[in-house]
Amino acid sequence: MVLEYVVYRLPRELRSAYEEASLKASGALSAAPECKNFELAHCVEEPELYIWRITWESIDAHLKGFRQSGHFEEYFGALKDYFPYVDQMHHYQAVDLAKG
Question: For the chain, what is the largest distance between any 2 Cα atoms, rounded to a whole number of angstroms?
Answer: 49
Question: For the chain, first and last CA: distance in Å?
Answer: 21
Q: Show contacts of 11-15: CB within 8 Å, 24+ apart.
A: 11/48, 12/47, 12/48, 14/82, 14/85, 15/47, 15/48, 15/50
**Sequence spans of domains, the chain:** 2-92
pLDDT at residue number 99:
77
Is 46's pLDDT higher than 80?
Answer: yes
Q: Which residues contact 87 (CB under 8 A, 6 or more apart)?
A: 7, 8, 9, 49
Over range 29-55, report the average pLDDT: 98
pLDDT at residue number 100:
61
pTM of the model: 0.92
**Fold adopted by 2-92:** Alpha-Beta Plaits (3.30.70)
